[in-house]
Each structure stands twice: as structure tokens, then as C-alpha cells.
Structure 1
Amino acid sequence: MKKIIQIARLELSLLFYSPIAWLLIMILFLQMSFDLIPAIDEIQHIQQFIPGFSFLTDKLFTTSLRVGNLPFGIFFSILSSLYLYTPLVTMGIISRETSSGSIKLLYSSPVKLSQIVYGKFFAMLMYNLVIIALMGLFLLIGFACIDHFDFPHPLVALLVAYLLLNTYSAIGIFMSSLTTYQVVAAICTFAVLAFMNYIGNFGQSLDFIRDLTYSLSMPSRAERMVAGLLNSRDVIYYFVVTGIFLGFTIAKLQLARVSKSLIYHAGRYLLVLSIGLAVAYLSSRQPVIGYYDATFTKTNTIVKTTQEVLKKMGDEPLEVTAYVNGLHSSYGFGAPVGRIPATARWEPYLRFKSNLNLKWVYYYDYRDPQFYVMNQGKSLKTLFAEQAKAADFDTAGFLSPEQIRKEVDLRGENDRLVFQLKYKGKTTFLRTFDDADFWPGEGEIAAAMKRLIVTPPKVVFATDGYQRSIDKIGDRDYKMLINNKFMRNSMVNMGFDLDSVSLEQAQIPAGISVLVIGDPRVQFSPVARAKIQKYVADGGNLMIAGEPGKQAIVNPLLDSMGVKMRNGTLVQKSRDFSYGLVTPTLAAAAVVMSPRLEKAYKEKAKISMPGAAALSQDDKGPFTIQPLLMTNEKIAWIKKGQFVLDSAALVFDAKTGDEQGAFPSSLMLTRKLKNKEQRILITGDADFFSNKELARSNMEVVNGSFAIGIFGWFADGIFPVDLSRPESRDNKLMLTKAGVSTLEILYYGLIPGAIFLLGMVLLIRRKRK
């Protein structure tokens, strides 16, 4: 070890007496400064108008996404150019000895060749550590300027950059041992590092080639860890690659001393490579991979609820099959060329369930008759061949319509890319969506997995009396929230089972979570009313959404519950909106119903109700009754009689029976019955979760969250899956405009100037000696 340190000290003196080393350090520092300081300036400016920034540590240092005009995080963006700073430093480490002839003295000295290589590599470790220390100066900005700076995350990014630099150095040392010309060594190192930086983009459409090139791509592994998730597989990978190239260097120097056959030479290299690949393979097996999520909110880790779902699955395998249709526009997302990033989305779940088996099935099919009309009656086989030629993909391995229909029933999935999950003989679909993210998120994945281990809660909608439909996209209907398969926030993708029933012709199904009666517009028959009354008497959960003017229809259903829809219509004074649009706020009971509404309750969030009736309650009834929504007594009142909304502004008129005050527009009823809690919700408006109100964009409301909270309450919290995690703390940049100017002076001028002067002093001192 003593000899290794002596060699390292000598090599370090040569490095730091070289102007190239100092120049590269200064350029790298300036590159990072020109990335970070403008981003800080941008955030400081925006923060004056929008104070609520979040995850500032990630945005400035590690993010791989552009946020508005902000660049990538500096540690992420520097990864793609780190390889440019190594070849000019390593090019002479061994080639200098070879060209000068001093290598012969080393061969004849009592120093082992491995000690020479390790000593020179140790010198590069120290040089790289200097680079990392200078990169660490940027963390001082975070500590000084970001409130609750999430420092473990960028520290992991620094570690990753150090590993990458060391690996590049090992490759550079090997390339330097292959030639006596330093320039040739530098060019070869540039070529090899560029190859290993960009090889991950080649051969992505071929299974074997894709896996091979991805395994050789070094920055892609670093990018994953810079995001904050340190893992043993990728750390060991960098150690393995470093070890392989150091082993190659030692073998090259040893073989230069002896005359051996080509087979012997090749065998030495093959042995080093085989040992390295074996270690890399064993360390990449999912059960032995260790993880550390450095982010405060554990952004890279699935939430505890999802972890519990996977834990309850036990040791039984979970099969996930992706069905990819070559004729659908979603094919591009699931095409073989995009398999690596698509598969990487499942790693957070593989971390907790290593026997999650992911399979990709390709087929071509189309069930929509309009598709054939648009394509002039061509056969599917012909259309598929034309599509494959236009998109330039290989049709081998695609199942025909007949074959795929025998394997799986995809009716109702609109021919798009869809996953099927299978566990212990049970199956469920996991869908992709028509939004910017496309892929299912943790909420949808966790819900699909949980459906396989629990009995999904069933929500049943009554269809009598022209009630609103869960299958239509009209303004007044409920498909968007309830039954839109291709919207991630629809209940059908949150784990719920959905059904409908005619109360006049069929019995209410047993074991359901809730029966929903949504805006009945004609009287129920005595038979249907008797079914509802028996269902309530037996402890069934119920939701009744009425509308003003329908009191005579709804109130007979409420007689036994101690609730009544009051006569008249709630109206609300407004400058911009119709007086018929009422915006009650959440009451305290809403948080009891759904704790996820706590933030909305504290912020006095609004629910939009276009046309609502006030409710009254009798506390002597069999239920405990609590208001969920309350109107504002200062601007809202009950308007009696007939009135017109689109003419003159309405005024309060006590003579006509108008009533002023704060009125509940939604009530929560509970009671203990048959060893369980019976839950009933009554609302004086049936529009608040309609397609139109959920798409409202001219007012900030929380209708969707409130509606989901209601159905989650009826489902005993089984669905939707709780994805809550700690909120980010690093949300404030404690910096003024003058502070930004100070940073510019320091990082654009003083620190680079100090690096330049230090290098000049050392170089001048050496020349004097």
C-alpha cells in the first residue's frame, strides 16, 4: 500500500503541474455555474408572484424534466458531458511511460505492475475527488438559499458523479496503456466513452441487442440514481466496469513483458471479463438488490399502502401481460423500441415483489365497424401490413385477430394498449390513458393489484325515473367520474365495480357498497319505494341526489330518515356567474367522511352546484346527521316561487317567503345497525359530480375530490388507494435579487478566478524549480 501511495503522489504532482488539468476543472465549474445561476434567478423572479414553489432541491440540482424555462438539474445535465473531461487527463498516465522508455525501468523495479496501475488509478481518484469537492460548492447555495434543503438527495448525485468519473478514468488508463502516443490515447478514450454514452440508443427494436446495449450504457444507470434512488446493482456495476478495465490494463502490461501465444493473451482478458460479468449478473438479480431513497418525501418509493398490497400477495407470482395492438395509435408506447423505459416503470414494484413477471404480447385487431368504413373495407391483414410498412416495424411474432381473441377477451378496451394482471386465477385490467402521462400511475396500479386480493366494492346506480346515466357523456350525466375507462381519475380505474339496476323490475343486489339514486324525475311506484325502504331498514348504504323542483319526488324517500328537501331553490349573489350557481364550502364532517379533504376544508374550498335545494334535518330521527356542505349566509339564500335567472339580478324578498341564512346542501347520515355502520348521503343537487361540473375551468372547485371522497366513504376506505406521502418542505428560495447578483460574482468570477490563479501559481513554481 505504501508503494501505491508513493506512485499516486508522484502522479498527482504531474497532474496538478499540468495546465490541462486546471483548465478542465475551471471549464467544468463554469459549465455548472451557467446552468445553475440562471435557474436560481428565474425561480427568485417567479417566486415574487407565485410563492408556492415545491421540490426546489430537485428542480435545481437533480431533476430530469424541464419545468417551464428552467433547465435540467445541474447534476443531471452534467452527466452527459462528464466523459469529455477525462481523456485529456488520463491520456498520458501510461503512454507517457511507454513513449519515454521509463516503462522498462518499472518492469525491472521491485514494484509490482498491479501496484503501478493501482497507484496511478488512486491518483485519478484523488483528482476526481477534487472535482467532486468543487461540484460540492454548489451545494452550499442549497444550504444557504433553500429553506429545508433536501441535502441527502444531491449528495447521492455527487456520489454517482464520482463513480462515473472513476469508471471513465479506469477506461482512460487502459486506453493509455495501448499506445505510446498520448493524442491517440485521448482520441481512443473519447471514442470509447462516447460509444458507452450513446450505445444505449442502438438496437432498441431487437430483444437481445436492446438488453445488451442497455447494459453497456453507463449514464443511463447514473441518471436513475441521480433521481435520488441509490441501488446496489448500479453501484456494483460501476465497480465492476472499473475493475474490468483495471484488470485489462494489468494484463496488457504483464503480457508486454512475456512472449505468449494469442490464445494465452485472449484467455487472460476473457478471464477478467468473465469474472466481472459474473459479479454484475449476480448483483443484478432482483432479490439481492438493495435500495436507498434519498428524497425526503420518498418520491422514488411506492407508498406504504401499495407496499402492503404487495406484501399481502405473499410468495405467489403476479403475472402482468401487456397487450399491444399494432393497429392502434398506442402501439408506439409499447413498441419494442420503447421497451426499456416502459419496463423500468415496474421496478418500484419489483423492489417489493421480485416474482412480478412482466410479459409483452403483440397482436393486431380492430372491433370498431367504423374503422373498416374509414379504410374502405380493407381486411385487417392488409391494413396491418400497410401500417407495419409505414411505421417500419417487424410483423414477426404478432398474433392474428383470431389468435388474440382465443387468448384474452379485450372487448370494451377499445383496442388500445392494456395490461392484464393475473394472480391466483383472478384477473383484472390495468389501462393506459388519453393524457400526457399515458401510462398508469401508482394509484391505478395499486388499485388493480388490490382488486386481486379483496372483494371490490360495488356501486350500483338506479336507472328508473329517467335518472342520470353512468354510460353517457352528456353534460348532466356521470360517465366522466364513474365509468370512463380511459380517464385515470374515473372510479372504474380506482378499483370499484359498477352496475345498474331497475328498481321497478329487479331486486337490489345483495352485498353492494351503495345504491345511488341520481335525480329521479318521476315518482317511484309503491313497489319500488318499498324495495328502497326495506334496503335502508336492512342497513344498506344509500346516496340520494335530488334537484330543486323535485321535492315531491324525493321527500317521500326521506321520510324515515329525518331529512327533508326544503321548498325553494338556493341562489347566490355573484358578479360573474348566474345566481343559480351556488358554491357551498366543506363542513367539518367532510373531513370525518374523508380525511383527504382536510386540506380543502382548511382552505375553504368550494363545490359548484348549479341549481341546488337546501336540506333540513330532524335530530330526533334514527340517524346521526351532520352537514357536509354549507352555503355562505352573507351571499346565499333560499329563493321561493318562480324566478328568471337570465334577466335582472335577483334580490332577497322576505315577503315572498325568501329565507336568509347558512343552509346545508348535503348531509351525512350514520347509525349503528347489525354490528356495522350504515351510511347515507343526501344532497340537494345532482349536478356537482356531473360531466359538465367536473370539466368546469372558470372557477377553482374541488367537486371531483369531494365526489371521490363520498364513494371512498361508502367503500370503507378500501378504494381509492391512499397515496398520501409527506409534502415537500424545500418550497422557498430565501434569496433576493441582490443575493443572486452576489452568487453571479462568486460563481462566474471569484471562484473560477481563484482556480485559475492557484493553477498559475503551481505552474510558475514548478518552472522556477
Structure 2
Amino acid sequence: MKTILRIARVELSSLFYSPIAWFLLILFLIQCALVYTGKLESQVNGQELGRDIQNLTFDIFANPQQRGLFIIDVLKNLYLYIPLITMGLISRETHSGTIKLLFSSPVKLSSIVLGKYGAMLVFNLCMILMLGIIVTFAFFQIESLDLGMIFSGLFGIYLLLSAYAAIGLFMSCLSTYQVVAAIATFSILALLNFVGTLWQDVDFVRDLTDYLSISGRTESMIMGLMTTRDVLYYLLITAMFLSFAWLKLQGQRKSSTLLQSISKNSLVLLLVLVIGHFTSKPGYIGYWDTTRTQMNTLSVGAQQTLKEIGDEPLEVTTYVNLLDQTYIFSTPKSINAGKKRWERYLRFKPNIKLDYVYYYDSVRTRDLHSNNPGMNLDEIAQKYAKSYKINLDRFKKPEEIRKIIDLYPEKNRVVMHLKLNGKETFLRTFNDTQFWPSETETAAALKRLTVDLPRIAFLQGEGERSIDKMGDRHYKLITSEINVRAALINQGFDPESLTLKGGESIPEGITALVIADPRSEFEPEVLDKIQQYIDEGGNLLLAGEPGKQSVLKPILDRLGVQMMDGILVQEDKNFSPDEVKSLITSLGASFGRYVTRLMNLKEKISTRGVAGLTYSNDSDFLIQPLLVTDAEVSWNKVGKLVLDSTDIVYNPEAGDEKKSHPTALALTRDVNGKEQRILVTGDADFLSNIEQGRSYPKTGNAEFYQGFLGWFSYGQFPIEPTWPDPIDNSFHLTGDGVSVVKWIMLGLIPGLLLLMGSVLLIRRKRK
């Protein structure tokens, strides 16, 4: 041990008595400080301008979308520094001839390797110290800095630096020229970052290259997730290259043959791969989420869902159709990316079995055949396979896949099939920028395997809105469209149509009954069944429309609610006067995080063509406004509203009165030990296909819908992932203070380091 320390001390002296080490440390500090102060200035300016800033630790240091300091700039630059330091560790000795003295001395080769590597570990600590200076400033500038995330990131960066150093040490053994050693180190580092993308369509090779890839491991630690798999990876890679260095020096001392060298190095590589394989298997990985908010961990609700599944293995089979446009999201090359998406779940249930089945079959688009006239499916598949440069033999033919599973109802696009104890369900992909299911949809699909799902019945027979039609006024997008994320079917509910004519009755056990914009009067038998359902405590969504107040009046009278004559209008230069935006009242806080979030962001709910509501306090229900109009710009317009004439103007002489009108009411009462919940709205369009497909102006209708569905199901569905709110949401300095920080970090501290290095170098020369 003393020999190792002595060699390390000599190497450090040689390193710091040369300008290269000081130059690199100062340059590294200035690069990082420039990025940090730039982010600091931008965020502080935002705070002074009143912008909403939060989770500052993540945004400044770890957020890849915001180009976090650690995860983008530090990782991007690290590989530039280490080769310049390690290139002379051994090659300098070889070039000068001192290596022969070391070989002839009683010093063990392992002591030489470990001593020089130990010097690099100390230099790496100096690199971390440069980052520590920035973190120290951040600690005093950011309120409640998330130290867990910071220290996890610094530890990950140190492990990465240490692995780079081991690689550089080995490369230095291969050449007497330092520049060649540096270039070789750059090449190996590039290969380790790139190897995870090679031969990903070959199953066996894919697993090997994925393990050897260094990419993504430090990023996870920077974001606050430490795993035994990643820590052991760095330790194994470090040990492997140190072993390679030792074997190389031993071969030079004993003049080993090429075959002997290859055999020994191959044995080391094989041992590392075997250990790495077993330590990377689900169930053998330890996890530590160091973040304050546990942002890298499944929410408590999702964890509870996995516990309810039990110990039985869960089978997840992803079916991928070569001919569908969604194929590009799940090619054989992206299988490892798919496995990583499931890692959050594998952490709590290691016996999830992931499988992929590739096939080709017809798709629900005219483009497939119009772009390939005269070709059958087999010929089109061959064309696609050639274009993608893949082997068509791995794809099942249409007749083969149809014998296994019928995917036509799922549109033959990328879909995951979940099986547990004989139960099965689909976990779908969606037509939005995220594409893959989030934790909300995944947890809902998992729960479908363990519990009876809440059923939402939509009344039909009087011209109500349909859950099966894509017309503008209907509800298919928000209920049964399988590739819409917010649809009931993907949020843990089972929507169904219900007709009460002809002897049918309202099924027992439904979660809620929806009566949306009936166009004709209810027959007496239908009305009796609805009234009985209400009297027995059933939950209800009642959505009316202006001009049809009389149709719902028999039901509303029972509830103590009335729809006002006329239509609400809103003064707005950009939109039609009937496009009224409703505000969520404080009652929305009891409707779950979806609605609470809308309240906090002051999002509005689009209620286009809405009738105002009034209510009586004499009802046996507790009636509270949930949505209201803005009293400053809206009023009730009595009579016929003509939109294609002149602009609608406020006219007090005609009886117009600007005031806040309720557009949605929440009714509750206790019936048989259970709280009955009824929602009445003066607008049925807020859930319509055209409203859900609207991209501008942005509204919170989908989130509001999910919120009151959770209210109807008493919080069972939809599953709302919840984590503690971040508290690092403000700075302790102003814009003027940023200027001072810049001067200190970019001028004073680098100047002091330069002065310190200069003093040491001058004293060294005088000796």
C-alpha cells in the first residue's frame, strides 16, 4: 500500500508541477460557470418578472429539455479532459525508457497500475471540486436546494471520470506516443457511447451491446436515481481496463505471445460480462431515489396497484405491425428502449415478462394500398422490409398472427397485451406527441386485471350524444376512441350505451349515468326509471343545452335546479360571443389533482353555447357552483341569438345584466350511508368530439372531465400519480446579485486558481 501511495504522490507532483493540470481545471470551471450563471440570470429575471418558476434544482442541473448543467454541458465536455491527462501515464515512461527500470525493480506491476490510477482519482476529485464550487453558490442562492439530487449527480460524474481514467491508463500502455494514446482514448470513449446503437436488431448482440454502453447511466444518477446496476457497471468497467493495463505490462515484462494476451484479456472481458449480466437482471438491482420528491419512483397509487396484482407473473407482449405507421416507434432496434420504459414497474415487480411479436397485416388507412397499387400484403411487406433493411422472416404473416390474437379492433397498430391469471387487457399507444402510455394509463390497465371496473352508462333513445359516433356533437373521442389518451376506456372506466325503452332498466352497480343533451321529451316509463335511479342514490351527469330547457325540466325540478331562459354570451373581440369560458370555483379542489392543477394555473373550461343555471336552497341536496362565468365580460342573452349578423353588444336597456352565472353545479347528499353525487351543466358541448379535438385556444376540458370522473368513482379511477410538490421554487438574490456572482465565478475564483498554480510552478522551477 505504501508503494502505491508513493507512486501516486510522485505522479500527482508531476501532474500539478506542470501547467496542463491547472489549465484544464480552470478551463473546466469557467465552462461550467458560464453555463450556470447564464441559467441563473435567466431564471432570476423570470422570477423578477413574476413568471412561475419551480423545481429549480432539476431545471438548472438535470433537466435535459432545459439543457441542465450536469446532464448536458458537463457530460458533453468531460471526455475532452481526461485523455489529455492520462495520455502520458505509461507512454511517458515507455518513451523515456524509465519503464525498463520499473520492470527490473522489485515494485509489483499492480502497484504501478494502482498508484498511477490513484493519482487520477485525486485529479478527478479536483474536477468534482470545481463543480462543488458551483454547487456551493447554488446552495446559498436557491431556496431549499435538493441536495440528494446534487450529490447523486456528483457521485455519478465521479464514477464516470474514474472509468474514463482507467480507459486512458490502459490506452497509455499501448503506445510510446502520448498523442496516439490520447486519440486512442477518445476512440474508446466514443465507442462505449456508441456501442449501444450497434446491431440492435440482433437479440443476443443487443443485450451485450446494451450492457457495454456507457450512455445513459450517469444521466440517471444526475436525475437522482442511483442503482446497483449502474454503480457496479462503472466499477466493473474500471476494473476491466485496469486489468487490461496490468496484463499489457505483464506481457511486456515476460514477453507473452499474442495468443496468450488475447486469451487473458478475453477471460477478463467474459468475466465482466457474466457478472454484469446477473447484476442487471430484475430482482437483483437495488434502487435509491435520492430526490426530495421521489420523481424517479412510481407513485404510491401505482405501487399499490402492483401489490394488488400479487406474486403471479405478469406477461406484457408488445405487438408491432410492419405496415402501420406506428412501426417506427417500436422497431427491433428500440426494444431496449421499451424495456427501460418498464423499469419503474420492474423495480417493484421483477417478474414482469416482456416480449415482442412482429407481424404484418392490413391497416385502417387508404394510403397503404393507394401508394402500392396492384400489390398484395405479402408484396407490400417485402417492399417495407427492404426499405427498413430488415429480415422479413422474423415477421409473422397475417394468417399466423390472426391465429394467435385478433388485433383488428386495435387497428393493427403498436399495442401491448397484458395477461395475468387468465385475465387480459390492452395497454395502448396514443395519437399525441408522447405516444407511449404514461403511468396513469399503465396503472389503469394493470388495475383492470384485478378489479371490476367502474361503468359509466350513457343514455340513448332521445337523441342524446353518442359514444360511438365521430360527429362534432358526439362523445366518441372522450369515451371509446382507443387511441385517445383521455378516453374513458384508457383511464380505467368501461363506457356503455343504455336504452331505457322497451323494458330495459338501469343496471345495478354502474358508477354514473350520463344524460347528455336529449332532443326529445322522455317517455313516462323512461322518466320514472331515471327518477327511481336518483331516489336510490345513483350518481348522475346531466348536461343540457340552451333552447332545450323543457326537455330536462322534469328531472331538474326534482333536483331543485333550473336552466335559465336564453343563452350566456361573452364579450370577446377574437371569438364568437357564444364561446363562453367558465372559471372553476374553489369547490374544484375536492375533485382531485387534475382540477386542482387547472385552478392553480387559472385554466378556463370551454362551455360554448351554454345556459346559465339557478338553484333553490329548499332541495334536499347540497348544491354548490363548480363552474361560473366571468362577471366582467359575460351576461345572459334572452331570446334568439343570431351569430352571423352584427356583433353582440351588452345592452342593459334590453335587460342584459353582467354578472357571474353558474354553468355547472355539484349536488351531494347522503343516501343509505353513501354520498350521492350529481353534476348538472348547462352545456353538453364541453365533452364533444369537436371540443376535444380543439388545439386553440387551449382549455382544460379533458382534465376537468377526468377530475369529475374521479369524483363519481370516489377516487378509484382515474389513477392520479402524485408526488410531493417541489419546494426549491425561488432564489435568494436579484438581478444585480447575478452580476456579482458572475464576477466572482468567472473572474475572482479562476484568477485565484491561476495564481496558485503559477506560484507552485515558479517554486518548482527555482528548486
TM-score by length of 2: 0.92
**Deviation sequence 1:726-747 (CA, Å, 0-9, x none):** 2333333555444444344334
Change (3 A) 1:757 1:661: closer
Matches within 5 A, 1:394-409: 394-409=391-406
Matches within 5 A, 1:427-438: 427-438=424-435
Match in the other structure for 1:230: 226
What SS does structure 2 have at the residue aligned with 1:427? Answer: strand
| Contact 1:318-1:356 at 8 Å conserved across structures | yes
Match in the other structure for 2:383: 386
Match in the other structure for 1:677: 675
Give the Cα–Cα distance (whole angstroms) in 1 for the partners of residues 148 and 32 of structure 2. 20
Match in the other structure for 1:454: 451
Change (3 A) 1:184 1:591: closer
Moved more, 106-115 or 441-450: 106-115
Match in the other structure for 1:33: 33
Match in the other structure for 2:12: 12
Matches within 5 A, 1:327-726: 327-368=323-364, 370=366, 371-373=368-370, 375-505=372-502, 506-573=504-571, 577-594=575-592, 596-601=594-599, 605-632=603-630, 636-642=634-640, 644=642, 646-647=645-646, 649-651=648-650, 662-695=660-693, 701-726=699-724
What SS does structure 1 have at the residue aligned with 2:194? Answer: helix
Give the Cα–Cα distance (whole angstroms) in 1 for the partners of residues 690 and 256 of structure 2. 81
* Distance apart, 1:352 and its partner CA: 1.0
What SS does structure 1 have at the residue aligned with 2:220? Answer: helix
Q: In structure 2, give the amino acid aligned to 1:627.
A: P
Give the Cα–Cα distance (whole angstroms) in 2 for the partners of residues 595 and 755 of structure 1. 50
Give the Cα–Cα distance (whole angstroms) in 2 for the partners of residues 180 and 396 of structure 1. 50
Q: In structure 1, give the amino acid aligned to 2:391.
A: D
What SS does structure 2 have at the residue aligned with 1:446? Answer: helix
Change (3 A) 1:145 1:401: same
Matched, 1:161 2:157: yes
Give the Cα–Cα distance (whole angstroms) in 2 for the partners of residues 641 and 62 of structure 1. 58
Match in the other structure for 2:120: 124
Q: In structure 2, give the amino acid aligned to 1:502.
A: T
What runs of 5+ residues in structure 1 fail to find an aligned partner? none
* Distance apart, 1:500 and its partner CA: 0.7
**Correspondent of 1:87 among 83, 87, 112:** 83
What SS does structure 2 have at the residue aligned with 1:682? Answer: strand
* Distance apart, 1:122 and its partner CA: 1.2
Give the Cα–Cα distance (whole angstroms) in 2 for the partners of residues 379 and 669 of structure 1. 58
| Contact 1:545-1:684 at 8 Å conserved across structures | yes
* Distance apart, 1:346 and its partner CA: 1.0
Give the Cα–Cα distance (whole angstroms) in 2 for the partners of residues 72 and 202 of structure 1. 27
Give the Cα–Cα distance (whole angstroms) in 1 for the partners of residues 658 and 182 of structure 2. 84
* Distance apart, 1:188 and its partner CA: 2.9
| Contact 1:324-1:416 at 8 Å conserved across structures | yes
Give the Cα–Cα distance (whole angstroms) in 2 for the partners of residues 185 and 174 of structure 1. 9
| Contact 1:639-1:652 at 8 Å conserved across structures | no
* Distance apart, 1:278 and its partner CA: 3.6
Match in the other structure for 1:23: 23
What runs of 5+ residues in structure 2 fail to find an aligned partner? none
| Contact 2:143-2:727 at 8 Å conserved across structures | yes
Matches within 5 A, 1:186-205: 186-205=182-201
| Contact 1:584-1:631 at 8 Å conserved across structures | yes
| Contact 1:64-1:227 at 8 Å conserved across structures | no
Give the Cα–Cα distance (whole angstroms) in 2 for the partners of residues 634 and 263 of structure 1. 87
Q: In structure 1, give the amino acid aligned to 2:431.
A: D
Match in the other structure for 2:766: 768
Change (3 A) 1:161 1:731: same
Moved more, 482-491 or 714-723: 482-491
Moved more, 602-611 or 352-361: 602-611
Moved more, 379-388 or 186-195: 186-195
* Distance apart, 1:125 and its partner CA: 0.8
| Contact 2:196-2:210 at 8 Å conserved across structures | yes
**Correspondent of 1:250 among 246, 249, 258:** 246
* Distance apart, 1:129 and its partner CA: 0.7
Q: In structure 2, give the amino acid aligned to 1:38.
A: G
Give the Cα–Cα distance (whole angstroms) in 2 for the partners of residues 643 and 188 of structure 1. 78
Moved more, 268-277 or 185-194: 268-277
**Deviation sequence 1:411-469 (CA, Å, 0-9, x none):** 23222211111111111111112222211111111111111111111111112222112
Change (3 A) 1:740 1:559: closer
Match in the other structure for 1:293: 289
What SS does structure 2 have at the residue aligned with 1:430? Answer: strand
Match in the other structure for 1:308: 304
What SS does structure 2 have at the residue aligned with 1:287? Answer: coil
Match in the other structure for 1:52: 52
What SS does structure 1 have at the residue aligned with 2:408? Answer: coil
Change (3 A) 1:466 1:273: same
Give the Cα–Cα distance (whole angstroms) in 2 for the partners of residues 696 and 364 of structure 1. 33
Give the Cα–Cα distance (whole angstroms) in 1 for the partners of residues 581 and 92 of structure 2. 79
| Contact 1:476-1:690 at 8 Å conserved across structures | yes
RMSD (Å), alpha carbons: 2.8
What SS does structure 1 have at the residue aligned with 2:358? Answer: strand
Change (3 A) 1:368 1:266: closer
* Distance apart, 1:126 and its partner CA: 0.7
Give the Cα–Cα distance (whole angstroms) in 1 for the partners of residues 82 and 314 of structure 2. 45
| Contact 1:637-1:652 at 8 Å conserved across structures | no
Q: In structure 1, give the amino acid aligned to 2:751.
A: G
What SS does structure 2 have at the residue aligned with 1:540? Answer: coil
Give the Cα–Cα distance (whole angstroms) in 2 for the partners of residues 468 and 59 of structure 1. 44
**Deviation sequence 1:603-656 (CA, Å, 0-9, x none):** 765433223333343444443333323345565554444454544645566887
Moved more, 552-561 or 300-309: 552-561
Q: In structure 2, give the amino acid aligned to 1:511.
A: G
What SS does structure 1 have at the residue aligned with 2:410? Answer: coil
| Contact 2:486-2:706 at 8 Å conserved across structures | no
Q: In structure 2, give the amino acid aligned to 1:415.
A: N
Give the Cα–Cα distance (whole angstroms) in 1 for the partners of residues 370 and 174 of structure 2. 66
Q: In structure 2, give the amino acid aligned to 1:672.
A: D
